[in-house]
Amino acid sequence: MSLDLRASYAPLLALAGVVGLLGGFLGAPPAWLLVWVGLLLPLLALVARWSPVRAGAGAAVPGVAAVALWPVPLMWGAASWLEVCGAAAFWAVPALGALAAGGHLRRQASRMRQAVRDGRRDQQLELARDLHDFVAHDVSAIVVQAQAARFVADKDPEQAVRALERIEAAGLGALASMDRTVHALREAAGARSASVPGTSELPGLVERFEGGVLDADPAAVRELSREADTTAYRVAVEALTNVRRHAPGAVVVRVRLHRAAEGIELSVANSAPARGAGGLLGLGLRRRSGTGLAGLRGRVEAAGGTLRAGASADGGWRVCAVFPAQGRTLG
Q: What CATH number is given to the structural domain containing 244?
A: 3.30.565.10
Identify whether the C-beta of residue 178 lies closer than 8 Å to the C-beta of residue 221: no
- Nearest Cα neighbor of 271 from 224, 219, 210 is 210
- pLDDT at residue 167 in the model: 81
In the DSSP assignment, the letter for residue 79 is S
Q: Are residues 312 and 202 in the same domain?
A: yes
In a domain, residue 85? The reply is yes
In a domain, residue 126? The reply is no
Q: Are residues 212 and 318 in the same domain?
A: yes
Q: Are residues 105 and 207 in the same domain?
A: no
Q: What's the rounded mean pLDDT across residues 117-131? A: 75
In a domain, residue 40? The reply is yes
Q: What's the rounded mean pLDDT across residues 151-165? A: 79
Last residue of a domain, one of 52, 83, 113: 113
Q: Which residues, at least 6 apart from 282, have a Cβ–Cβ distance to it below 8 Å?
A: 245, 246, 248, 249
- pLDDT at residue 279 in the model: 38
User: Mean of the per-residue pLDDT values for the chain?
Assistant: 81
Q: pLDDT by residue (tens digit) across 162-204?
A: 778 778 777 777 777 676 666 666 665 555 545 668 898 899 8
Measured CA to CA in angstroms, residue 317 lies from 38, 86, 242, 314 at distances of 76, 80, 10, 9
Give the lowest-confidence range in 141-155, 289-303, 312-326.
289-303
| pLDDT higher at 142 or 309 | 309
> Hey, what long-range contacts does 109-115 have (CB within 8 A, 24 or more apart)?
109/49
Phi, psi of 317 (to 5 degrees): -140, 145
Last residue of a domain, one of 52, 82, 113: 113
In a domain, residue 53? The reply is yes
In a domain, residue 104? The reply is yes
In a domain, residue 38? The reply is yes
Q: What pairing do the DSSP bridges indicate for beta strands 317-323 and 306-311? A: antiparallel
User: Over 60: is that where the pLDDT of 299 sits?
Assistant: yes
Identify whether the C-beta of residue 24 lies closer than 8 Å to the C-beta of residue 70: yes
Q: 257: number of CA atoms within 13 Å, CB side?
A: 27
Instruction: Read off the pLDDT band of 328 (50, 70, 90).
Output: very low
Q: What pairing do the DSSP bridges indicate for beta strands 264-270 and 306-311? A: unpaired
User: Over 70: is that where the pLDDT of 263 sits?
Assistant: yes
In a domain, residue 161? The reply is no
Last residue of a domain, one of 113, 137, 170: 113
Q: Are residues 215 and 318 in the same domain?
A: yes
Which structural domain, as residue segments, surrounds residue 80? 3-113
First-residue to last-residue Cα distance in the chain: 55
- Which residue type is seen at 77? G
The total number of structural domains in the chain stands at 2
CA dihedral 153, 282, 146, 312 (to 10 degrees): 100
